[in-house]
Structures are given as structure tokens and as C-alpha cells.
Structure 1
Amino acid sequence: MGPRFHTELEAVYRDMRQAHGSVVPVELPGDVPAWLVIGYREMYQVTSDPVLFPRDAGLWNQWDTLPEDWPLRPMVGSRQPSVYFTVGDEHRRHLAMVQGALERVDHTELRRHAEELADRLIDGFCGTGEAEVISAYAKPLPVLVLARVLGFPDSDGPELISTLGAMADGGPDAIHGYEQAIGLMYRLVERKRQRPGADVLSYMMAFPDTFTDEEYVLDLMALTAAGYLPMADWIGNSMRLMLTDDRFAASLTGGRHSIAEAMNEVLWEDTPTQILAGRWAARDTRLGGQRIAAGDMLLLGLGGANADPSAHAADPADGLRNSNFAHFAFSHGEFQCPFPAQEMAEIVCRTGIEVLLDRLPGIDLAVPPQTLGRRPSPFLRGLSVLPVHFTPVHAQGGR
């Protein structure tokens, strides 16, 4: 953590490689030891071997040392019966339910929701000629779209924003934010049991297998937490790139192909999910020249692995990845983000960016690029603010 992690990230990873190689000894809050994997090959090895490096938090050799209020407990989990923390047959059972529900989401309807909600948000500030994109648009848009698709009412959006944000930042409010979010999930499960609808949670509850309310809630939490801030940061980081990098200037004047290129470049260079916890060594082993003990935690340094120089030897001179999607932005292997969820995230984020550029002529950054700050989270990489100015326009309703 610390300011250099947010202002000189490329240099931080370079210094880590020089001092430790591709697997770095780090400390989590409270002097809790872990290993941060930042090598491309090592990341592939860890995420491709669920036997040697399972996602089984129960193996962790540090549980007995942790206080009950340790702020990263919600991020790590402890044998929780959800798609994110289960392993083996139980994980595959949860994944079948969740993935089956996501596959039933109509992409045309999803895009319509994203366009409608994007227009509603833009109507709130388009007449002023200025806006702060992160708080006014990039954060609320994914929450409102997810709320509709998963089954939440729109009115739950503001509470989801505050609770999930506190949880993801891993600060003193993390535990309280997690408890509040879980409460929202339980209430939604009860509502959908009484009145199911055409939404992801109802599809999950209709799956032909038996799950408890706790399992529905924790799977819903996994979908919501994994979708909200990464999508918000994907929108914000892509807009920052397009407003500050001449390679993507065409996207601001209608060149829609450049939006897709900018979004893919962000997944390589500025990926929203920088670090994931994690994997645990099933036995003593070696990785990247380091001795890993049984029960040690390995943090997946997705951003660090994407930046590994060995992964870019054949990059074109201009640095654009174009159609190269071999990044770790969605992780990799058995526990990667399900493909239907990746498709949904791309639709929501791209639609959000397109609508914003269509509606706000002459949009430009309102502050020097070097003054843009990052949220204080080592796990998720997103902007705190993104101030812009543009030519004022009427709201779609004529206001």
C-alpha cells in the first residue's frame, strides 16, 4: 500500500522484481505474511494447478493468529459455502447454478437497461457543463444495472454502493459494510421466494438442486462484489485513458473501434482488479525461486503479472494490445470469472462509455492528468475522481 503504489505502480512492480523475482514476500495489515505472485508464467502455473494451489482458505496457516476484527476477513473468506470459496465438487455445483443463471440473461435487454440507466444519470448533470465522472456516473451505473439484473430494486443501489465500497477498500468500515450488504442479500432472497421474477437470483433459486438461504446469499454477494467496483473502475480507467492518451482520441469523436481497444488496453495496463486473495499451498513447494510452505497464502497479483516484461516481448511498437486478450484481468483457470459474467461486464461498461460520449459533446479532462488520484485500495485500482467539462446540453426529457 502507500502512495507510491498508486502513483508509480509500474516502478513498484519493477523494484519488486529486481529485489525478489516473480514471487514477492509481502505483509498484509497486522503483519500477516503472504506471497504476491507477479510473474506471468508463475501466475499461469498457480491458476492452472488447483491441486497444488487450491482456493481453499481453510488451509491457511495464519487463521489462529488473526483477530476477529481483522479488516480483510471478508476478502479472504473461511470455508464459506459460496461459488467463490468452495472447492472441488461443491464449487462445481455452485458454479453450475450461478453460470446457468447468468447464461439466461438476455444481452439485448441488458444493453437496454444500461442505456436507460446511463441516460437517467447523465440527465442529472448534462446541463451544467461539468461533472465528476466517478461518483456521478461510473460508480452508480454498474450498481443500478446489476440491481435490475440480479433482482434488487433500484432503491437498494445507494446502500450497495456504500457497503461494497467500504468492504473492498479493506479499511476500518470493511466488516460493517460486509454485514450491511449481507443483510440486503437476505432480504432479497426472502422477497424472491415470495415473488420470483425474470432475474438472476430467481433463476438461481429455480436451479434443480438444493441450496440454503445462506448459500444463495453468499453466491449473490460474490456476483455483486465481483461485478460492481471492477466495472466502475473499468469505465473510469478507460475514460481516463481516452482523455489523456492521443492513441485513443478518435473514440471521442465517434470512432467506436477505439473504445474497444482502450478497454482492452486498460485490462492489460490498468486492470481494475490488481490483486486477488488468493490460493493456498497444499504442501511445501517452490515457486519462482521461493520456498513456499504448506498453508502459505499466495496473492494473485493480476496487474503485476500483466506487467511482466517477459509477457510483452512481441508487442507492437505502439504498445496497443488490439485483439490480444491473454491478460489476467479476469483471473484464469478453474476459478476465473465465469465467461457469461465477463460478457455482461463488457456490455455494461462499453455501453456506459458510448452513451457518455454520445451525450456530452466536447468532453475533456478538467484538471491536469497528474493530479488524478487513486482510491486507497491495494486490491482494486480505480480513480477517486475524474472531473470533466463539456458543452452543456438539454436532458433527454427537455429539462
Structure 2
Amino acid sequence: MTPDAVPLSGPEFQTEPARLYRRMRSEHGAVTPVLLDGGIPAWLVLGYRELHQVTGDPVLFSRDSDLWNQWENIPDDWPLLPMIGHKQPSILYTVGERHRERAAMISAALEGVDPAELRRHSERFADELIDAVCAEGEADLIGDYAMLLPVRVLARLYGVSDEEGPALVTALNDMIDGRERAIAGQAHLATAMAELLAARRERPADDVASRLLAGNRGFTDQEIAEDLMVMMAAGHQPTADWIGNSLRLMLTDERFAASLFGGRNSVAEAMNEVLWEDTPTQNVAGRWATRDTRLGGRRIRAGDLLLLGLQGANSDPQVRTHGSALTGGNNAHFSFGHGEHRCPFPAQEIAEVIARTGIEVVLDRLPDIDLAVPADALTRRPSPWLRGLTELPVRFTATPALKGG
């Protein structure tokens, strides 16, 4: 690894990630040497074409984390372990035909979700969350709303009881933030998914967990539980941040002002712009080189870890003009990944329905909504992986709750 490697941490990930990625690309090129927690070296792939190459070649750039040449330097309590996946038998780290079988099983289980039922659950839970704050005239649309909605919907679809929702939110956030409580968050989620599978093996129902068991292609219960963990984590936090980042855009950009007063045509446009400009999943770990190779002018050694710089690639000047808004029907961003390990299409559709419904319910239920603080006072969570707001304080005219109001 080069001596000028960039620490993958610091306040710029919260404040000015776009500027940080531009500087990395300017100083280091499309493939930047970085240091993870504890000084562990890796490569951050920021080039659109280079990222397309890495994600499109699972033989040369494998998802098998056992290939990593740094395992001897990784302590057991390393906070990024849940993001790397060592000894986790989930779909994220399965390769070849076994991965394709597993992906087909998961897609089938998710395709079984009824679109009308998904919309109903999303609207009902969104209305319940708004009911809890609408009479106050003010709310934090992150803590009171966006951070609660996706997991409540997903829990119902997967078969988890509503009572488990709050604890799952905490566990998921701890795990994804990659800080001191990451391992504990992962352990809680693993226990919850194992208990769900045990219950559904005894009492099958019309839910994702039951369909995974019914469509099992020879995987163990532990492997299926790991996949449920992945599906829950990938479905909740990025969707919550998609809601929050889209609402922030609509509340701070005058192009979307009409939508705040009854218009709805630009909700989808705002959501797509966020996927290009402010994507919830900024960086992903990762891929491992199966042999010595070259990428973006860099010499990559066998076993090197490559991090997928999704936001950096989305803003690559080779495919983007700085400041341009590639919205509308342009979906060539990397926000859902690419290649055989990309987010399954049924999962993308579920996330979009939850996010869009969540945004529309806010705009329908809270008239004359406006930011309660200056736009430049909004802050982001301290994560190099996901980009989401810590709070989104708003004010609005108080209205009665729908239930009992």
C-alpha cells in the first residue's frame, strides 16, 4: 500500500463527502489507497468504469472475504467486522453457482410480497408515525419517522412481531455505523432472525421467512438466518436514509417547492436525484482480488480489499458534468450496486414503495411543512459507509391525528 493512503474516516464524510471524493480522485486517481480503522489498508474504487469492471468480474474480484491478505492483522473486536463479513455464511460472501441459487431463492421469497399489501402496510405505519407527532406542530423526521418506518414495514413482511421493531432499529444502526457497539448490534440481529426462523418452522405463515424455508435449496438454517439479517439491514437503513435525504432535498431546494403544497410529480425525481447526488449507501465493503492485477493504473495484489465507492463513481467526471442533475429516467447510477451481487430487483422495488409512500404521507399529512433550523445546520451521521441525517427538524401547522382525532 502506498504511504499517502487516505484515512477512511473524519468529519469530511459528514460535511463535504463530494469534495472529499473529488480531492481523492484528483490526488490519487480512480483507485485510491485508503486506511480503515486501526490502519488497515484497502483500495477505494471511485472511477465509474473501474467500479463497473470490479462489480462485473466476480472471478477476478471475488466476494469471498477469506481471500483477504490482512486477516492476521484484524483483532476479534474490530468494529468493522460486521461490514466485512468474515465467517458469515450469508449471500453477501457466497460465490459462483451457490450464490446464484441463493439469490434466486431470496428473489422468489421477496417476489411473493403482494404489492397492494406492501402499499397498505407502508401507508398504515406511516400514518401511525405521523399521528404521533402531527398535533405537536413540530417533529424530527429522522428519529420520529424515517428511522422507524422501513423496519416496521419489513418486520411485518418478514414475519417479525411489531414489538421487536424498536430493538431491531437500534441493533441495525449500531451494526452499520461500525463503531464500538457494532458487534453487539450484529449479535442481537442474529438472535432475532434465528428465533424468527424457529417460530416459522413450527408455524409457517404468509411471510418472507416462511417462503425462504419453503423454497430452501439445501441451505442451513444458519445460512438462511444470515440472509434474513442481510435483507433486513440492506432494506432498512438505506431506505430510511433515502426518505430522509429526499425530504431534505425537497425542503431545501426551490425546484421542489411545488411538491410541498400539493404537487406530487417531482417526488420520484427528487428520490432519483438523491440516488445520484446523495446516495444513502456511499461505500461498500467489498471485493477481494483473486490474483495480482492492475486497476485504474494501480498494482493490486492478490488478497487486497477493494471498497466500492458508489457515490464517488456516481459523480465521476468521466460520466458526469459537475453540477448536472441526471434525474428523470436515468437510472445508470451505482446506488443499488451492479453485477450478480447487486441488490435484487424485488428488494429495490420494495424499498422504493416504502420510501415513496413515506415521503408522500409526510407531504399529505403535514401542511406548510418547513425546516425548523437553517439548512446548513443539518448534520450527518459519522459513517463512511452510509450517508444519512442525524436529525431533520421541521415545523408545520398542528393537525389532529387520523385515529381518534
Q: Structure 2-normalised TM-score?
A: 0.96
Correspondences of 1:6-45 after superposition (within 5 Å): 6-45=14-53
| Percent identity of paired positions between Structure 1 and Structure 2 | 60
In structure 1, which of residues 188, 191, 198 is the aligned counterpart of residue 206 of structure 2?
A: 198
Correspondences of 1:155-234 after superposition (within 5 Å): 155-234=163-242
Q: Does 1:274 align with 2:288?
A: no
Describe the SS at the equivalent of 2:92. coil
User: What letter is aligned with 1:236?
Assistant: G
Aligned partners of 2:216, 2:10: CA distance in 1, in Å?
Answer: 48
- 1:194-220 per-position Cα deviation (integer Å, ceiling 9, x unaligned): 111110010000015222110111010
- Is the Cα–Cα contact under 8 Å of residues 138 and 236 in structure 1 kept in the other structure? yes
Q: Does 1:289 align with 2:302?
A: no
Aligned partners of 2:67, 2:324: CA distance in 1, in Å?
Answer: 44
**2:366 alignment counterpart:** 360
Q: Does 1:346 align with 2:357?
A: no
Aligned partners of 1:140, 1:375: CA distance in 2, in Å?
Answer: 16
**1:370 alignment counterpart:** 376
Correspondences of 1:231-310 after superposition (within 5 Å): 231-310=239-318
**2:126 alignment counterpart:** 118
Point out the more displaced range, 6-15 or 147-156. 6-15
Aligned partners of 1:34, 1:262: CA distance in 2, in Å?
Answer: 33
Aligned partners of 1:288, 1:343: CA distance in 2, in Å?
Answer: 33
In structure 2, which of residues 375, 389, 395 is the aligned counterpart of residue 383 of structure 1?
A: 389
Q: Does 1:73 align with 2:49?
A: no
Aligned partners of 1:210, 1:237: CA distance in 2, in Å?
Answer: 40
Aligned partners of 1:270, 1:171: CA distance in 2, in Å?
Answer: 22
- Is the Cα–Cα contact under 8 Å of residues 79 and 86 in structure 1 kept in the other structure? no
Aligned partners of 1:254, 1:92: CA distance in 2, in Å?
Answer: 44
- Is the Cα–Cα contact under 8 Å of residues 380 and 390 in structure 2 kept in the other structure? yes
Aligned partners of 1:333, 1:368: CA distance in 2, in Å?
Answer: 40
Point out the more displaced range, 189-198 or 202-211. 202-211
Residues 308 and 111 (structure 1), Cα distance of their counterparts in 2 relative to 1, 3 Å cut: same
User: What letter is aligned with 1:312?
Assistant: R
Describe the SS at the equivalent of 1:35. strand
**1:127 alignment counterpart:** 135
- Is the Cα–Cα contact under 8 Å of residues 80 and 86 in structure 1 kept in the other structure? no
Q: Does 1:55 align with 2:63?
A: yes
Aligned residues: 397
What's the offset of the Cα at 1:84? 1.3
Aligned partners of 2:41, 2:379: CA distance in 1, in Å?
Answer: 28
In structure 2, which of residues 311, 319, 325 is the aligned counterpart of residue 311 of structure 1?
A: 319
Aligned partners of 2:47, 2:265: CA distance in 1, in Å?
Answer: 31
- Is the Cα–Cα contact under 8 Å of residues 82 and 94 in structure 1 kept in the other structure? no
User: What letter is aligned with 1:337?
Assistant: C
Describe the SS at the equivalent of 1:310. coil
- Is the Cα–Cα contact under 8 Å of residues 56 and 79 in structure 1 kept in the other structure? no
Describe the SS at the equivalent of 2:83. helix
- Structure 1: which 5+ runs fail to align? none
In structure 1, which of residues 99, 108, 115 is the aligned counterpart of residue 107 of structure 2?
A: 99
Correspondences of 1:78-93 after superposition (within 5 Å): 78-93=86-101
- Is the Cα–Cα contact under 8 Å of residues 144 and 154 in structure 1 kept in the other structure? yes
Aligned partners of 1:312, 1:18: CA distance in 2, in Å?
Answer: 15
What's the offset of the Cα at 1:79? 4.5
Point out the more displaced range, 7-16 or 362-371. 7-16
Aligned partners of 1:282, 1:51: CA distance in 2, in Å?
Answer: 7
- Is the Cα–Cα contact under 8 Å of residues 30 and 46 in structure 2 kept in the other structure? yes
- Is the Cα–Cα contact under 8 Å of residues 71 and 174 in structure 1 kept in the other structure? yes
Aligned partners of 2:212, 2:152: CA distance in 1, in Å?
Answer: 20
- Is the Cα–Cα contact under 8 Å of residues 13 and 383 in structure 2 kept in the other structure? no
Describe the SS at the equivalent of 1:251. helix
User: What letter is aligned with 1:251?
Assistant: S
User: What letter is aligned with 2:210?
Assistant: S
- Is the Cα–Cα contact under 8 Å of residues 61 and 287 in structure 2 kept in the other structure? yes
RMSD between aligned residues: 1.1
What's the offset of the Cα at 1:320? 4.6
Aligned partners of 2:165, 2:311: CA distance in 1, in Å?
Answer: 29
Residues 140 and 179 (structure 1), Cα distance of their counterparts in 2 relative to 1, 3 Å cut: same
- 1:358-386 per-position Cα deviation (integer Å, ceiling 9, x unaligned): 00000001000001000111100000000
What's the offset of the Cα at 1:97? 1.1
What's the offset of the Cα at 1:64? 1.3
